[in-house]
Amino acid sequence: MADLHFLANPARFRRFSQRVLPGLGFATVLMLAVGAYMAFFVAPEDYQQGKTVRIMFLHVPSAWLSMGGYALLAALGASLLVWRHPLAALMARAAAPVGASFAAVCLLTGSLWGRPMWGTYWVWDARLTSMLLLFFLYLGHIALSRAYDSPERGDRAAAILALIGVINLPIIKFSVDWWNTLHQPASITRLDAPAIHNSILVPLLWMAVSLLFLFVWLVLLRTETEIDRRRLENAEAAA
Amino acid sequence: MSGFTTLLARDLRLVLRRPGDVGVVLAFFVVATVLFPLGIGPETNLLARIAAGVLWCAALFAALLSLERLFAADYEDGTLDLLLLAPWPLELAALAKCLAHWIVTGLPLSLLAPFLGVAFGLDGESLLALGATLLVGTPTLSLIGGLAAALTLGAPKSGALLALLALPLCVPTLIFGAGAIETLAAGDGIVTHVAILAALALVALATTPWAIAAALRQAGE
């Protein structure tokens, strides 16, 4: 972490991101194309799920990234409150909608998969519900960071919210699990049947890495935009 | 510690001078709960089954209603600035404000809920359990809501934002509070549920005052 402190200066970060972004974008597109080919043509159909197993290659990495994204928000929030890094606030502002989008993709693909498999778009399963609550926590973060006329105020309020949210996430997860087992036993909602075969696992991990590239690329690009936007606002205020 | 009691007494005295504010919250709680039988139908079995969830949700909304003004008056008239300058911990001030909020909303709601439960056809044991779980669970709502109120202090249209921030964080309390009455109906004791509710309240007590104080410091800057 200490080595990343040199990026805390927005101007230095901008030079860094401008050098990295084109290559990263190119790599992301290439990896996603290869991943899509693997997911659609190389990976075999599941003997029970048929073609719908291919949804998992988008669904599972989205779930991982939306959870990782919230951890990133909390880390950025801590870095803003402890070291007052101006860039942490801008990056949190950039990362929150990306994380929320991955949570939304996870929920949408999950319900599209659920329709043929479980016969319904939505069940009040513990996993679905906690992902929905994670999505709401993202929405709260986005709304709070943009609620004030002074952006710095919103940034710091959202940072506190992210830290409290990350403490509460395990508690929410635990209580939702408990709630579900109280009401209905796990029926068809078990994904972790036997161990996953390599022919499925390799495309899945490939897609996870490509989507991680996409995540990083989007966050860097949006952070750059936020830096420009903040500069414009400051210039307008000064003029 | 005298600062804590002074601030608590002041907040309670302010409410006593305008008892109508508390009355409105309690009236909202009653009206909101009464709407459910009207909307769902008067079958006693169904009503008894959903009673705990309905009463808990209504209590949660009622508690949120009054939170918007928790720090707002102090923020507008400058009291908050003095609290920020005062040479004693802002965390204690935050705790005193939340405790005052609980005494004037959480406590009366917990006492009132069993009477409404009668109208839903809950039996005596469930009514006691309802009151007990609300008594243990509502402090958490006041603390989490206090945090949301401090975070949204001074924001335009803070009411809806406050609810968006506080509700997901209140989910665990709601689950265990309403779940307790369900376990009772299944023939088990509610000790586990009450213990978990108390644990949630302690976690909130240990974390939120610091976060509220941090949020208030930013509002004062």
pLDDT in tens, B76-99: 888 888 888 888 889 999 999 999
| pLDDT given at position B155 | 84
| pLDDT given at position A194 | 47
- Confidence at B162, pLDDT banded by 50, 70, 90: very high
Separation in Å, CA of B63 to nearest CA in chain A: 19
Is the predicted pLDDT of residue A190 greater than 60, yes or no? no
Is the predicted pLDDT of residue B191 greater than 70, yes or no? yes
SS3 A184: coil
Closest residue in A to B148 (Cα–Cα): A161
Of B77, B88, B60, which Cα lies nearest the Cα of B148?
B60
Which of B168, B172, B218 shows the shortest C-beta gap to A157? B218
pLDDT average, residue stretch B202-214: 94
| pLDDT given at position A183 | 46
Contacts of B155 in chain A (CB under 8 A): 144, 147-148
pTM here is 0.88
Strands (E), chain B: none
pLDDT in tens, A194-229: 456 777 788 888 999 999 999 999 999 999 999 988
Which own/partner pairs from A39-48 qualify as long-range (CB within 8 Å, at least 24 positions apart)? A39/A203, A39/A207, A42/A199, A42/A203, A43/A199, A43/A200, A43/A203, A44/A199, A44/A200, A46/A200
Contacts of A166 in chain B (CB under 8 A): none
Which stretch of A19-33, A112-126, A216-230, B140-154 has the lowest confidence by average pLDDT? A112-126
Which stretch of A30-34, A35-39, A104-108, B217-221 has the lowest confidence by average pLDDT? B217-221
Q: Do B211 and A171 touch (CB under 8 A)?
A: no
DSSP assignment string, A219-236: HHHHHHHHHHHHHHHHHH
- Confidence at A184, pLDDT banded by 50, 70, 90: very low
Q: Do B161 and A144 touch (CB under 8 A)?
A: yes
Which of A161, A172, A182 shows the shortest C-beta gap to B151? A161
| pLDDT given at position A47 | 66
Q: Do A175 and B208 touch (CB under 8 A)?
A: no
Mean pLDDT over each residue of chain A, to the nearest integer: 84
Of B52, B78, B7, B27, which Cα lies nearest the Cα of B184?
B52
Please say whether the beta carbons of B12 and B103 come within 8 A. yes
Which of B172, B182, B207 shows the shortest C-beta gap to A172? B172
Contacts of A165 in chain B (CB under 8 A): 169
pLDDT in tens, B93-138: 999 999 999 999 999 999 999 999 998 888 888 899 999 999 999 9
Contacts of B172 in chain A (CB under 8 A): 168, 171-172, 174-175
Interface confidence, given as ipTM, is 0.87
Q: Do B164 and A140 touch (CB under 8 A)?
A: yes
Please say whether the beta carbons of B107 and B18 come within 8 A. no
Contacts of B219 in chain A (CB under 8 A): 153
| pLDDT given at position A129 | 84
Is the predicted pLDDT of residue B68 greater than 60, yes or no? yes
Separation in Å, CA of A75 to nearest CA in chain B: 16
Separation in Å, CA of B151 to nearest CA in chain A: 6
